Amino acid sequence: MQSFRTELENPVVEKEIIDLERKIRQYQEGKIAEEKFRSLRLARGVYGQRQPGVQMVRIKLPFGKVTFKQLLTIADISDEYASSNLHLTTRQDIQIHYVSLDRTPELWAKLAQDDITLREACGNTVRNITASPNAGIDPEEPFDVSPYAHALFSYFLRNPICQEMGRKFKFAFSSSVRDTAFSYAHDLGFIPKIRVINGVEERGFKVMLGGGLGAQPMIAHVVHEFLPEDQLIPYSESVLRVFDRYGERNNRNKARFKFLIQKMGLEEVLRLIDEERTANKVKSFVVDRDAVPQPAPSAGTDVETLSASKPMAYEIWEKTNVYPQKQEDFYSIYIKVPTGDLSTAKARKLVEGVRGHIADEIRITQNQGLLFKFVRKSALPHIFNVLDGLDLAQPGFDSVADVTTCPGTDTCNLGISNSTEMARVLETLIYEEYADLIYNRELKIKISGCMNSCGQHGLAHIGFHGSSLKAAGKVVPAAQVMLGGGTLGDGLGRAAERIIKVPSKRVTHVLQLILNDYAENASEEELFHHYYDRQTKDYFYRLLKPLADLTTLRDEEFVDWGHEETFQTAIGVGECAGVVIDLVATLLFEVEEKLAWANESYNAGAYADAIYHVYSVFISGAKALLLDKGIQSSSQHAIIKDFDTNFVETGEFSFPEGFGGQVLQINRQEPSETFAKQYLAAAIGFYEAATAKRENKDTVNA
């Protein structure tokens, strides 16, 4: 591995990139264990692919915002280091694939020059913070949520309280009560609200807590009808502190915040959140409302005489993909990007064609499309022509014909079936047989390659996820049919229900049966949710049951969509949430590293950060010693209790108030310089005693 050097304006980022390069080298030399290294690279946006020896790199774009220059930079990076493709994700990121591990530091350095980061795009961290793509231009929004999403992103990036949680944590901001960012399906979701007190207008948020998709989708709890804007960050910090301390650490299938609420009860979790407020770095945080200014409208080019190349297609496209902004005389354009995949060649031609006709700010949407802003009416035909020339002028954005999908078996370790080709097939079916549905935005189809819901099937009216069946001694690619999920509005939503599993090649028949039945039997203007509830889950099970008959399988049904070979399940180890690190030596090495971070933060006057690093020293050190005794604790809170039981009560370690009394001062003390100094001194003493104990044991065993 050849070393490289880069000069960046941000010394913190430069240090991180050099550190990644160093740790890649140590891993390749066998000095860092596989499990530990996986955790390190995931937190830096580097994710193992289904294909051996190459990586997926996830580029973190807060609330999906990207400039022309940044998009072109990412395209250049994909050409040089990846597969010349940009994959737009449901979390408003861009992913590139087939990257060599050795080249990831160099790649990151080039992205950082245009203020693009990989940091915490994967792993057990705060993931990309999403927001309604039309935030700032939405005619129905109380105010623009973009600055608040930006503030959360900035505050928690590299924040020690959320670097090594039990699993990932997701935030979302919707621009209005339409809840287009699915606040109800996130760990923390926010909807903007305004209230008037004594004639003074105040901003705040309705807060949803503990939602999530995955194999066991759960709808979030409404915990605040109005949280004042200055409490947004303090409240979020308290929530993350509770998750870090009490969240599951061993069973990753139960390690999301929703399961913590399920285990402890909402009332107790809310009590713990309130208890953490004392230790917060800030008690109030005033968000800079101007941190994300509206992009300047383009100067405009004289295109008034230009007409659309395909008048009829243009008329349909304008009705389904173009919307007036709240800014008078300006329009937004939504671009449907099939399966979220945009070649770098198309990306360049797209920027070249629309530059000067839209604002220099593109937003990635939650259904893997693009949004253009500040378009003048006169420029619409020109932009349609540009899109049409790139095969990007399909009508029906966010309609029944706009199917959301994850990459599935194309690149993902966990993919069971080919979700991308299934999406293409279903979209073709809609355009060919149900063309009128391109105007229907009240019915969504979403597909995931496995049960983990990266394609959002859990919140779809009609959803599918990859699975398998056995018949005639062979494995059949299958799709689990999910119905009845979706957004209700203002923080409320529904999780789709499992109906029946059918061979994958029969999903077209599934969709035809459902759509035909809905068209024939629903009352006038009856929404699908109401129709589903009226007919009941059992009705749809009986409707679809004939398609689950495996005695009528044809040879081609043993082959997945987009493949020629007979189907085989080949599921790898998923890395969506990192792994649990249980190596004693590695943990003690981490303790030393965290102690250095604590000293560094303390000397810089960042006392709250220093205190949390110290807390991590106690936890990691105690975990290492417990593991040395064969004791695996399921959470940080359990580590504290188990250490008291197995080390303090036995007299091996002495703490006047017990280990818990020492460590949990963190949520009883203000993050002052005095407390930071005392807490750090105690941690140093604990670390020295822990390493001495380990060394003595090694000497005896030798």
CATH code, domain with 677: 1.20.120.330
Percent of the chain past pLDDT 90, that is, above it, reads 77
- pLDDT: which is higher, 569 or 305: 569
Backbone angles phi, psi at 371, to 5 degrees: -125, 125
Which pLDDT tens digit goes with each residue over 18-62? 888 888 888 888 888 777 787 778 888 888 888 888 999 999 999
According to the model, what pLDDT value does residue 227 have? 98
Q: Considering the domain boundaries, does residue 415 fall inside one? A: yes
According to the model, what pLDDT value does residue 169 have? 97
Backbone angles phi, psi at 420, to 5 degrees: -70, -45
Backbone angles phi, psi at 192, to 5 degrees: -70, 140
For position 368, which CATH number holds? 3.30.70.3340
Q: Which H or E element spans position 341?
A: strand 341-343
User: What mean pLDDT do residues 11-16 have?
Assistant: 84
Same domain for 549 and 433, yes or no, is yes
User: What mean pLDDT do residues 390-399 have?
Assistant: 97
Q: In 10 A of CB 694, how many CB atoms?
A: 17
Instruction: Please give the tally of structural domains in the chain.
Output: 5
User: What mean pLDDT do residues 432-451 have?
Assistant: 94
Which pLDDT tens digit goes with each residue over 150-162? 999 999 999 999 9
Q: How far apart are CA 166 and CA 258, in angstroms?
A: 12
Domain boundary among 389, 414, 449: 389
For position 209, which CATH number holds? 3.30.413.10
Same domain for 227 and 158, yes or no, is yes
According to the model, what pLDDT value does residue 341 have? 96
Give me the domain span that covers residue 338: 311-389
**Which of helix, strand or coil describes residue 204?**
strand
Q: How far apart are CA 388 and CA 366, in angstroms?
A: 22
Same domain for 517 and 422, yes or no, is yes
Q: Return the sign of the alpha-carbon dihedral for residues 100, 104, 110, 112.
A: positive
Cβ-Cβ contacts under 8 Å for 251 (sequence gap 6 or more): 634
Encoded tokens for 570: 């080949």
Q: What string of DSSP letters covers 360-380? A: S-EEE-TTS-EEEEEE-GGGH
Encoded tokens for 469: 């069946």
Q: Considering the domain boundaries, does residue 293 fall inside one? A: no
Q: How far apart are CA 450 and CA 479, in angstroms?
A: 9
Per-residue pLDDT for 287 more than 90?
A: yes
Per-residue pLDDT for 333 more than 70?
A: yes
Same domain for 543 and 410, yes or no, is yes
Per-residue pLDDT for 699 more than 80?
A: no
Encoded tokens for 560: 């997945």
According to the model, what pLDDT value does residue 662 have? 96
**Which of helix, strand or coil describes residue 527?**
coil
> Do 419 and 407 meet the contact criterion of CB atoms below 8 Å apart?
yes
According to the model, what pLDDT value does residue 5 have? 52
Comparing CA positions, the residue from 211, 172, 212 lying closest to residue 190 is 172
Range scoring the smallest mean pLDDT among 2-11, 370-379, 479-488:
2-11
Q: Considering the domain boundaries, does residue 564 fall inside one? A: no
Q: String of b and e for 505-531 (b: at least 16 CB within 10 Å)? A: bbbeebbebbbebbeeebeeeeebbeb
> Do 451 and 152 meet the contact criterion of CB atoms below 8 Å apart?
no
Same domain for 167 and 274, yes or no, is yes
Domain boundary among 389, 416, 436: 389
Comparing CA positions, the residue from 256, 205, 92, 266 lying closest to residue 491 is 205
Q: How far apart are CA 239 and CA 169, in angstroms?
A: 10
Same domain for 489 and 528, yes or no, is yes
Pairing of strands 55-59, 94-99: antiparallel
According to the model, what pLDDT value does residue 7 have? 56
Per-residue pLDDT for 2 more than 50?
A: no
For position 65, which CATH number holds? 3.90.480.20
- Which residue in the block uniquely carries the two structure tokens 């599951």? 248
Comparing CA positions, the residue from 186, 282, 185 lying closest to residue 237 is 282
- pLDDT: which is higher, 8 or 187: 187
How sure is the predictor about 691, in pLDDT bands with cuts at 50, 70 and 90?
Answer: confident
* Terminal Cα distance for the chain, rounded: 36
User: What mean pLDDT do residues 184-190 have?
Assistant: 98
Same domain for 544 and 690, yes or no, is no
Same domain for 410 and 320, yes or no, is no
Q: How far apart are CA 113 and CA 115, in angstroms?
A: 6
Measured CA to CA in angstroms, residue 26 lies from 101, 191, 528 at distances of 13, 45, 55
According to the model, what pLDDT value does residue 580 have? 37
How sure is the predictor about 301, in pLDDT bands with cuts at 50, 70 and 90?
Answer: low
Per-residue pLDDT for 395 more than 80?
A: yes
Range scoring the smallest mean pLDDT among 401-410, 430-439, 608-617:
401-410
pTM for the full predicted model: 0.93
Q: Considering the domain boundaries, does residue 442 fall inside one? A: yes
Comparing CA positions, the residue from 253, 223, 214 lying closest to residue 495 is 214
Encoded tokens for 648: 């303090």
According to the model, what pLDDT value does residue 653 have? 94
Same domain for 553 and 424, yes or no, is yes
Same domain for 319 and 418, yes or no, is no
Percent of the chain past pLDDT 70, that is, above it, reads 94
Q: Considering the domain boundaries, does residue 42 fall inside one? A: yes
Q: Considering the domain boundaries, does residue 117 fall inside one? A: no
Encoded tokens for 527: 């929404």
Cα-Cα-Cα-Cα dihedral of 631, 634, 637, 638, to 10°? Answer: -40
Q: Which H or E element spans position 476?
A: strand 474-483
Helix locations, 29-165, DSSP H: 34-42, 68-81, 104-112, 146-156
Q: Considering the domain boundaries, does residue 68 fall inside one? A: yes
Domain boundary among 389, 419, 442: 389
CA atoms within 13 A on the CB side of 662: 27
Q: Considering the domain boundaries, does residue 459 fall inside one? A: yes
User: What mean pLDDT do residues 378-384 have?
Assistant: 95
Per-residue pLDDT for 313 more than 50?
A: yes
- pLDDT: which is higher, 104 or 586: 104
Same domain for 606 and 672, yes or no, is yes
Return the HEC string of 253-317: HHCCHHHHHHHHCHHHHHHHHHHHHHHCCCCCCCCCCCCCCCCCCCCCCCCCCCCCCCHHHHHHH
Measured CA to CA in angstroms, residue 510 lies from 67, 432, 462, 516, 526 at distances of 41, 16, 10, 10, 21
Helix locations, 604-645, DSSP H: 607-628, 636-643
Which pLDDT tens digit goes with each residue over 551-599? 999 999 999 888 876 656 654 445 554 333 335 776 777 788 899 999 9
Which pLDDT tens digit goes with each residue over 498-556? 999 999 999 999 999 999 999 999 998 899 999 999 999 999 999 999 999 999 999 99
Same domain for 373 and 441, yes or no, is no
